[in-house]
Every structure is written in structure tokens, then in C-alpha cells.
Structure 1
Amino acid sequence: MARQDGIIKLKGQLGGISFYKSSLNGHLARQKGGVDAKRMQTDPAFARTRENGREFGRAGTNAKLLRTAFRSQLLSTRDGRMSNRLSSLFNAVIKTDELSLRGERTVVNGDITLLRGFDFNETGKLTHTFFAPYTADVDSAAGTVTIDAPAFIPTDMIAYPDGATHFRLVVSAAEVDFAENAYNVQSLETEDMLLSAIAVPPVNLVLTMSEDNTDPLFVVLGIEFTQLVNGQMYTLNNGAYNALSLVAVEPGA
């Protein structure tokens, strides 16, 4: 794959070269070729390729399900490469499955805790934005997820973008059944709080989930920035600086 340079950008095929535009990488060119599809599907020489393909497809499907579960929160973030980054991480999780045969490995049988710490917005990481201490506690038996943070001074503990006047913390938890392509999600958020040198009250957000849940459970914590103008609160810069991270991951039974 090569990047097109020059004033005139090409699209289509010419002399065995395909010219196209990628939303992430701009105008590109690559040589047409590859193995015949039927041979790829039947030739024993490509058995490993077929196995890898099945697992990579499974990783993409599972990653999409998690993104869908947290769609409401993801609408407030912006990262064009997030989907690819998450799918790659899911693929890494699948490869840790030591129970299944190659090609049949799954996320559930792998080390799903590798997803902990994943930032949905690479340009607005939670650890680079929110410095106040907090705890994320999961009680699977009782079916509760609790985010606690003591009182803190926003201007000391938050790296906020220019123009922001307020912020809010958001938390969401999802029980995900990858086998059935289903999920149960619950969310809460604080009120908009002033970005100032005056301490805000302690934060206590409690989500009620399923008791004795056996599916993997994912908890995201995020911070969203807003701007108050003439009594109206506006989202700041389409969420470019908002952070959202997986702060807890429970494998399930």
C-alpha cells in the first residue's frame, strides 16, 4: 500500500494498480492481486489463514457488540481509529484462549481483563484528563457497580480544554452475552459541575445490575466537558476532549 502524492488524486484501476481514498489515511494505491477465493476456502495450505480469519471476524463482531452497548457514551467522544483499536485488542484476547482449538477460540475463554484500561478516545485519555482518586467496585452477587470519588478541586484535578466552564462524570456498566449477541446496560451521570478552585462534593454513583450475573461485565468511566453561554449548556467541540475508559472488567462465570 502506497500513499498518493501530487495535485491530482486518482480513483479506480490502472495498469493493475487500484487507486482509492481511505477515510483514515487519505488517497492510497495498491497493486491488484491475491489468492483465488475458492482456493483460499479449500486449500489445506491456507488452513491457518482460514482459522485466523474466523477468529479475526469473531473479534470484530464482539468488539462491535461492546461498542453498541456503550453507544450513548461513545456519541460524546471522537476517535476515528477507535473501532480498529478495539477489534485488535479483542483479537489479542481471543488468542489467549487456551481451551479451544485454533479457529474456534473465543473472547469468553480468553483473558478478557486485557481490555481493562482501554481508552475509547485516544486523544482524550482518562488518565491524562481526570486525576482525582476514585474507586470502581463491582459486586456481582449483589448486582451493583459503584463509582466513588472524594471531594476534589476541579482546577487541580482535571486537565480541561480551553472554553470549558463545566464538566460531568459519566458511568455505564454492561453485562455482555457474546454467544447470544445481547447485553444489559445501565448508566448514570453527575450534574454539570463548575470548573473552579472550589471543591465539588463527593461523587457516589451506584448502578443496579443483575444479581448473580454470569456474563462478562464491563464498566466505563468518562468525563464530558460543556460550556455555559447565556444560561444554555453546550457540548464542547463535539466531544474531542471527552474521555471514556474501561475502568473495570469482570470475566463472569
Structure 2
Amino acid sequence: MARQSGILPLKGTIGNITFYKTKAGHLAREKGGIDANRIATDPAFVRTRENGAEFGRAGKAGKLLRTAFRAMLLNIGDSYMTSRLTREMVKVIQADATNVRGKRNAIDGEAELLKGFEFNINGRLGGTLYAPFTTAIDRAAGALKVDIPAFLPINMLASPAGATHFKIQAAGAEIDFEAETFVNGNTASAELAIDATATAVMNLAVNVTANSTKPLFLALGVEFYQQVNGALYSLKNGAYNALALVNISGMPATPGGV
């Protein structure tokens, strides 16, 4: 990989050199690699095919999870979130102890490994909200809850410069990775001033299917606003809004199983 220089950066392929643009700048690399047909058929590449199949499933599972939380993610600014989530979903799939390599999948994996995942690496929940909170997932009732005692926003929020208001958001999702479907919901506090006035106790609850047999995910986030002439505007297109998976209930045990 080489970095392009000059006032007219190139894009595309010339001869054996491919020119392309990334966040690191305009780069160039030599074309190469192994013929795709050989990878698809040669026994020497069986592990490559297995890894590719599982990586593909990880990508699809990550996309489904992102879609389930799309309403919250619309106000999150992290261009690397998709690749980071796919990487973590690969770990979920690799934890599948039921299926053979190459056939492992998210539904039989360890969804709990995603707990703590930060959707915005530039605005981590752990570095934004310092107020204590508790979470609970009641699978029988289909209820996902976050409880936050009263707190002083000016003390318990690491708010970005320019922020005058915030709101706390919670979202829950029941995801069927096999059927590629989900049931979701979200709730939020009112927009509150970032000052020394204590908030009310917050009890945020989201409902999905009661007695679900699918993985359940609970996310908690903080969204920041700036007040201008009495109106609230999302701060810097959500660059510092936080959202993380704070509780997960994976596949429930099969009755009579081991």
C-alpha cells in the first residue's frame, strides 16, 4: 500500500495498480490475489471458505442488529461502527459449540459477548453517563428495563462543548437471526437541561414478545442538544451521542436439555 501525492489524486485501476480513497487519504496498491474460482473449489482453501461463510453470517447478523436499533443509530456519528460490530459478531459466531466450523451461526453463538458494545467509539456511554443505573430483562413478561436514580446532570454527564440539554434513551430488541426478523421498541426521557437541577427518577421500559425464545438486547444512550432561540438542535450531527448494549439475554435453555 502506497500513499498518493500530487494535486490530482487518482481513482480506479491502471495496469496492475489500483488507486482508491480512504479516511487515511488517497492510496495505491498493486493488484494481486488468488483466483476466485480456485478459492471456491480447491481443497487447499477449505478453511478460507469456512471462514468466509462465517464472516458473511456475521455481517448479516450485524446488519440485522443495526436495523433493529436504527431509530437510535440515526443520531450516532461513527463511520467505523459497522466494521467494529461485524468483528464482535464474528466472536459470537465462533462461540457456537453446536455446529461444525463453517456452519456456525449467531443464533447458536454467545450473544452475551456483545454486552458492553459501544455503537459510538467517539462518545462512549461509559465515558458520558456517570450516574448509576440498573438493568433487567424479564423474558417471561417480555420487558426490558433501565432504572436510573435521580442525579445532577452537571456532575454526572460528561457533555461536549456547546451542549445545553440532553435526554436518556433506552431501546430493546428481540432478534431472530435465522429468520432475519425482529421486534423492537424504544423510549426516552424528556429533554433536560444540563445544570445543577436534579432529574426525576427514570424508569425506562420497553416491551417485546412475552416468553420469547430469541436473543433479547437492551441498549441505553444519551443524546445531546444545543438550545438556540428557544429551539433544541441535535449537537454536531450526533458525533458525541452515546449508545451501548447494556444487557443481553441469549437463547434460553431448552426444556429438558443439558
Alpha-carbon separation, structure 2, partners of 1:204 and 1:166: 19
- Paired position in structure 2 for 1:88: 87
Residue 128 (structure 1) aligned with residue 127 (structure 2)? yes
Aligned to 1:74: 73
Unaligned runs of 5+ in 1: none
Displacement over 3 Å in runs of 4+: 5-8
- Give the equivalent residue in structure 2 for 1:205: 204
Structure 1 match to 2:219: 220
Q: Structure 1, residues 123-146: CA drift from partner, whole Å, max 9, x if none?
A: 000000000000111100111111
Deviation at 1:103, TM superposition (A): 0.6
- Worse-matched range after superposition: 13-22 or 151-160: 13-22
| 2:134 is the counterpart of 1:146 | no
Cα distance in 2 between the residues matched to 1:25 and 1:96: 33
Does the Cα contact within 8 Å between 1:126 and 1:243 map onto a contact in 2?
A: yes
For residue 186 of structure 1, report the CA deviation from its aligned partner: 0.6
For residues 34-53 of structure 1, what are the structure 2 equivalents within 5 Å? Answer: 34-53=33-52
SS of residue paired to 1:252: coil
TM-align CA RMSD: 1.1
For residues 105 and 198 of structure 1, what CA distance do their matches in structure 2 show? 51
Contact 1:213 / 1:252 at 8 angstroms: preserved in 2?
no
CA contact (8 A) 2:107 2:176 kept: no
1: CA distance between counterparts of 2:28 and 2:178?
A: 38
Q: Which residue does 1:9 correspond to in 2?
A: 9
Write out per-residue CA displacement over residues 162-193 of structure 1, whole angstroms, 9 at most, x where no aligned residue.
11111100000000000000000010000001
Amino acid at match of 1:244: L
Match of 1:158 in 2: 157
Q: Tell me the secondary structure at the aligned position of residue 53 of structure 2.
A: helix
Output the CA distance in 2 between the equivalents of 1:211 and 1:244: 25
Structure 1 residue 7, shift from structure 2 partner: 3.6
Quote the offset at 1:209 in angstroms. Answer: 1.7
Q: Decide whether the 8 Å contact of 1:165 with 1:226 is kept in 2.
A: yes
CA contact (8 A) 2:92 2:109 kept: yes
SS of structure 2 residue aligned to 1:80: coil
Q: Secondary structure at the match of 2:28?
A: strand
Amino acid at match of 1:14: I
* Number of the residue aligned with 2:21: 21
Equivalent pairs counted in the alignment come to 252
User: Is 1:169–1:190's contact at 8 Å kept on the other side of the alignment?
Assistant: yes
Query: Residue type of the partner of 1:87?
Result: T
In structure 1, the partner of 2:97 is 98
Secondary structure at 2:218 match in 1: strand
1:6 CA displacement: 4.0
Whole-angstrom distance in 2 between the partners of 1:185 and 1:137? 16
Task: Give aligned-pair identity as a percent.
Answer: 49
| Structure 2: distance between partners of 1:96 and 1:205 | 31
**Alignment pair present for 1:230 and 2:251:** no
- Provide the rounded CA distance (Å) in 1 between the counterparts of 2:25 and 2:92: 30
**Could you tell me which residue of structure 2 aligns to residue 249 of structure 1?**
248
SS at match of 2:51: helix
Contact 1:140 1:212 in 2 (8 A): yes
Q: Distance in 1 between matches of 2:248 and 2:168?
A: 19
Q: Which amino acid aligns with 1:9?
A: P
* Alpha-carbon distance in 2 for matches of 1:117, 1:130: 14
Counterpart-to-counterpart distance in 2, 1:55 and 1:111: 14
Letter of the 1:16 partner, please give it. N
